[in-house]
Amino acid sequence: MIKKHALTKLINNSLNQERRNFLKVSATGFATLAAGGLVKINKATAQAYQPYPTDNQLETVVTSCAHNCGSRHMLVAHKQNDVIVRLSSDDGRYQRDGCYGKDTDEEPQLRACLRGRAYRERIYCAERLLYPMMRVGERGSGKFKRVSWDEALDFIANKLIEIKAQYGSQAILDQSYAGASYGVLHKSDQIEGLQGRFLGMFACRTSCWSVPSYQGTTTSSRWTFGTIEDGNEDDTFAHSKLLIMWGWNPAYTFHGGNTIYYMRKAKQNGCKFVVIDPLYTDTAATFDAWWIPIKPNTDAAMMAGMAHYIFTNNLQDQAFINKFVQGMDADTMPEWSKNSPNGTENFKDYILGKYDGQPKTPEWAEKICGVKAADIRKLADMYAKTKPAALKACWGPGRNDYGEQYNRMAAALQAMTGNIGILGGCAEGVGKAWHAEGVAHPYDDYSNIWFSSIKSDRWAHIVNNYPNVTRQEAGLWPRDDNLDGVIPNIRGIFYQGSNWFNQLTNINAEIEAINKLDLVVCLDQTITTSGLYSDVLLPICTHFERHDVALPWYKGHYYIHRPKVIEPLGESKSDFQVFTELAYRLGNMTGIGDKFGQAYNPKATRDYWNKPDPVDEEYLRTWWEERVMHHQHVEMPWTEFKKHGVYKVKLERPHIAFQDQVELGLPFQTPSGKIEILCDELARINDWTKTRYGYHIPSIPKWIEPFESLNHPTKTEKYPFHLITPHPRHRTHSIFNNSAILRETYDQEITINAGDAKKLGISTGDKIEVWNDRGRLVVPAYVTQRCLPGVVAIPEGAWIDLDSKGIDRAGNPNMLSADTPSPAGSFAYNTILVNIRKTTLQHRAGWDETSISRTHVFGRDI
C-alpha cells in the first residue's frame, strides 16, 4: 500500500539543510525557487509580490524540452547563478540566420506546449530524487533510507553477480524505455539505450521487444512496406483535399512539432476533415470534422466494409494496384503463393466473401462497428473519389487486441486508392518521416545483446507462472543457439527512463510478480510508481543538468542543442555516469579490472563520475562530425551549431514516404519489392509456436474479433462498458503527474456518455468506481455527449495510489487492462470491458498532500 503523505514527508525529510534553506513547498503545493538562488522565501507572498528579474538581469540559454511526448520543442531557460528562474519558448529572438524563429511556412517556430512551459515545476519538485535511497519497508510501502552512492552501487553490483551466478544470463529484465529516448547521448531505449548495452555487456539480460506505442502498427508497416519510415513530414498535410483522422487526436497527442499549424493550412485550402473515434475529440471540434463514432476495436471491420464498397463499385485505382501491390487481388498474387502453407488467399476475394461465404458488406460491418452502412459507403466513396486524400491510421486503434489487423487493413485502403507516395496522400502507419542520426553514445557490437527477449507486457505472467510457461505465452524471440525457447527465470528488474510498473498492463499481476524478485533498481529523476516498488532508487539529473542534443519525434527535421544549463541537483548523476561506474565496480569485483568500465565508456576514464562534461562534449562532437556532417552532408561545424542552438535541415522537396518507389519505380523494401497486402513473411510460416508471434496471423488483412469488446456475447453482461485509455493532454504518460499546476488544466477523470450517466444517476464530478476481474479504481466523472454510448475513457499515466483493499484511488486504467497482447505484440490497452458505479470512496488526484488539483470543481475530500 502506498503511504500517500508519508512519501512527500520522506522526500522532504531527506532534503539536506542547505536545500531546505532555499527550496520550500509553497502554499500552492509545489516547490518554488526564489529568484537569485539561495534565498529563503516565505510562503506565497514571495510569489505574489516579489517582482521577477527582467530578462537582461538573467542569463538566457536555448535548449529543448524532453521525453517521449509526441514532439520536440524549444525551451529557453532564463537563469540567475545556478537557478532557472523562468522558462520561455521559441519567439524568434534567440536564433540566428538560417535557424528557427522566423515563423514562416517553411520554418515555423518550435513553440512549447503547456507541459514544456511547466517544466520548472518538474525540475524543482518535491518528488525529485536527490540522493540514492534504499528500501527499508515492504515493496510498495514507500519506506526508504538515504544511502551513499558507494553503498547503493556496491549493493547492486553484489546482487547482480549473485543473481547471474545462480540464475544465469536471462535473470535480469531490462525495462528501459523512452523517458529519455530523444537525446542522442543520455539515452533510455529498448534497443539503443545505455542500459541495454550495460546489461548486455555484463551478460545478464532479458530484453522486451514489443513497443507499447504501436507494436501493431510497426509490425503492420514492416510487413506491408518493409519499413516503419512510412511517414510524410507534416507540411504535406496542407496539400490534402480530404483528411481522414482514424483514431488521431493531435490537439492532445502531438505527432510532430507543428502538426496543427499545417492542418490549419489544409483547412484554409478547403480540405475536408473526418474523425473516426469513439470520442468527439478537440481535434474534431477544432477542424469541424465529420465525426464518425465507432465501437472501439472494430475499425478493421469498418475498413473491410469500405473496401467492399470500393471493389464492388470498381472505384479502386487498378493501375496503381497492378504496378505496386502484391496480393490485393487474384491477378497480383505471386507464383509461389500457390503452394504456400499460409498464403493462397488474396484480399479482394476475402472481402467479397469467397473464402468464408461472408461478403464484408457495409451492412455486415455496421453490425460489428455500429457505424451506419450508409455512412460507411459515403466515406468510402469520398475516399476513393477525392485525390489526394490522406487516411492517417493512427496508433490508438492499433493499441488493441488484433490491432495489427486494423493497421494492415488501413494500408490496403491506402494502396487500393493509390494514395501512397503522392503529395497530400498518406501511407501512415507508424509515420516516421525524416531520419535523424539518433545515437552518440558508443553503439557497437556490444549493443543490444540479450539472452532472451519477451513480449514486454508478459513479464509478470512469466514470473508468476515460472517455470510453467510456454514460449508462445512469453512471446519469445527465436534464437539460433541453445537458449532458443528457454523461458527466462527473471529474478530482477532495472527501470531506466521507464515507469513501466505503472505503464504496462494488469498492475495487480505486476504487484504479485515484483514481490517475488530479488532485486529491483530504478534510475529516475523523480519518485514514481516503479520507484516505489524498487529496492534501490538512483537519482538521475534532468536534461537541464547534463550536455546532450535533442532529436525530433517522428516528424520534424532538426536538432536542438541541449547545453548543461545548471549543475545536477542534489547528488544526482546522469544514467551514463551510473552505468559507467557500475561497470568499473563489476569489473573489479569479477577479476577483469577496469576493462568493463573502459569498454563500456571508451572515451572516459573512471573519473567520468566526477567530471563528465569533457567526455560528453567529445561524444557529441564526434557524433555531429561523423554522423550528421559526414552522413547527412550538413556543413555547419559543431561549434557553430552550439552557438545557433537549433539546426534545421533544409529539405530539397517535401518529404513524402515512398515517392521514389512510385515516381521512379524503385522497389519497396519488402521481399517482393511491392506493397505486400499478402505478406511474404507471414505466408511462409509453418510453425507459429516457434515464432515471436506465438499464434497464427493471417497473411492478408482480416477482421478478427478481439478477446473482449461490446460485441462479446457473454462478457458484456457483467461488464457492459468498453474502456479506452487515451493519452493525457496534461502529462507525458506519467511524467508531470505530480505537477499541480498542470492538474489545474485537466484532471484524471472518466468520460461517460450523458445517456449512460443518466441511467446510472451519475453527474460530472461524482466519484466513480470502475472495475473488472483484473482490478478496481476510483476516478471523478466527466459526463458529456461527446462519447459513444457504452464507451468510457480514462487517460493513461496516473501514478497508482492503492488503498488497503488494493483499490487505486488515483485512477490508473492499467489496474483494469489485460496483459494478453495480440499475436503481433500489440498491447491491449484499449481492449478493456468494465463496469462502473457511483461511489462514496474518495479519489486522490496526486501524491502531494497539498494538491490543489481541480478542487474548485470536485471539492477536496481526502
Ligand X SMILES: Nc1nc2c(c(=O)[nH]1)N[C@H]1C(S)=C(S)[C@@H](COP(=O)(O)OP(=O)(O)OC[C@H]3O[C@@H](n4cnc5c(=O)[nH]c(N)nc54)[C@H](O)[C@@H]3O)O[C@H]1N2
**Binding residues vs ligand SF4 (CB under 6 A):** 65, 69-73, 112-113, 115-116, 254, 732
Q: CB 77 → Mo ion: shortest distance, Å?
A: 27
The residue type at 690: K
Contact window for ligand X (CB under 6 A) among 124-132, 278-286, 352-360, 743-751: 278-286
Q: Which listed residue (180, 411, 463, 818) binds ligand X by CB under 6 A? A: 180
Q: CB 217 → ligand X: shortest distance, Å?
A: 9
Contact window for Mo ion (CB under 5 A) among 12-20, 210-218, 540-548, 680-688: 210-218
Size of the site for ligand X (CB under 6 A): 64
What are the beta bridge partners of residue 207?
Answer: 453
Contact window for ligand X (CB under 6 A) among 32-40, 417-425, 525-533, 777-785: 525-533
List the Cα angle 536/539/543 in 5-degree steps. 145
* Nearest-angstrom CA–CA distance, 77 and 561: 13
Spatial CB neighbours of 491, under 8 Å, sequence gap ≥ 6 = 163, 166, 167, 171, 172, 517, 518, 519
Q: Which is nearer to Mo ion, 213 or 851 (CB)?
A: 213
Q: Which is nearer to ligand X, 224 or 737 (CB)?
A: 737
* Nearest-angstrom CA–CA distance, 64 and 46: 28
R_g over Cα of the chain: 26
The one of ligand SF4, Mo ion, ligand X, none whose footprint includes residue 692, by CB under 5 to 8 A per kind, is none
Interaction of residue 121 with ligand X, rule CB under 6 A? no
Interaction of residue 432 with ligand X, rule CB under 6 A? no
Q: Which listed residue (95, 181, 210, 213) binds Mo ion by CB under 5 A? A: 213
* Nearest-angstrom CA–CA distance, 589 and 579: 15
* Nearest-angstrom CA–CA distance, 832 and 720: 10
Spatial CB neighbours of 217, under 8 Å, sequence gap ≥ 6 = 393, 395, 398, 403, 404, 407, 429, 430, 826
The one of ligand SF4, ligand X, Mo ion, none whose footprint includes residue 769, by CB under 5 to 8 A per kind, is none
Q: Which is nearer to ligand X, 727 or 743 (CB)?
A: 727
Q: Which is nearer to ligand SF4, 113 or 824 (CB)?
A: 113
Q: CB 340 → ligand SF4: shortest distance, Å?
A: 45
End-to-end CA distance of the chain: 16
* Nearest-angstrom CA–CA distance, 485 and 483: 6
Q: Which of 554, 536, 298, 322 is nearest to 416 (CA)?
A: 322
* Nearest-angstrom CA–CA distance, 427 and 228: 10
Q: Which is nearer to ligand SF4, 4 or 733 (CB)?
A: 733
Q: CB 550 → ligand SF4: shortest distance, Å?
A: 8
Largest CA distance in the chain: 80
Q: Are 417 and 383 in contact (CB under 8 A)?
A: yes
Q: CB 75 → ligand SF4: shortest distance, Å?
A: 7
Q: Which is nearer to ligand X, 153 or 540 (CB)?
A: 540
Q: Are 852 and 12 in contact (CB under 8 A)?
A: no
Q: Which is nearer to Mo ion, 419 or 734 (CB)?
A: 734
Query: To which residue does cell 538562488 refer?
Result: 37
Q: What is the 3-state secondary structure (H, E, C) of 168-198?
A: CCCCEEEEECHHHCCECCCCCCCCCCHHHHH
Q: CB 70 → ligand SF4: shortest distance, Å?
A: 6
Q: Which is nearer to ligand X, 211 or 490 (CB)?
A: 211
By beta carbon distance, the residue nearest ligand X is 179
Binders of ligand X among 606-645, rule CB under 6 A? none
Interaction of residue 397 with ligand X, rule CB under 6 A? yes
The residue type at 306: M
Binders of ligand X among 489-508, rule CB under 6 A? 496-500, 503
Q: Which is nearer to Mo ion, 32 or 217 (CB)?
A: 217
The residue type at 225: F
Q: CB 69 → ligand SF4: shortest distance, Å?
A: 3
- Quick note: the x/- pattern for ligand X over 810-839, rule CB under 6 A, is ---xx--x-----------xx---------
In the chain, count H helices and then E strands: 31, 28
Interaction of residue 772 with ligand X, rule CB under 6 A? no
Q: Which is nearer to ligand X, 355 or 443 (CB)?
A: 443
The one of ligand SF4, Mo ion, ligand X, none whose footprint includes residue 116, by CB under 5 to 8 A per kind, is ligand SF4
Phi/psi at 689 (5° precision): -65, -20
* Nearest-angstrom CA–CA distance, 141 and 115: 29
Give the Å distances, CA to CA, from 585 to 202, 424, 589, 591, 597: 11, 55, 6, 10, 8
Q: Are 63 and 119 in contact (CB under 8 A)?
A: no
Binders of ligand X among 63-102, rule CB under 6 A? 67-70
Q: Which is nearer to ligand SF4, 167 or 746 (CB)?
A: 746
- Verify cis geometry, omega within 30 degrees of 0, for the bond prior to 492: no
Residues near Mo ion (CB under 5 A) are 213
Residues near ligand X (CB under 6 A) are 67-70, 177-180, 186, 188, 212-213, 246-249, 252-254, 276-279, 281, 294, 296-297, 299, 394-397, 399-400, 496-500, 503, 523-526, 528, 540, 575, 724-729, 731-735, 796, 813-814, 817, 829-830
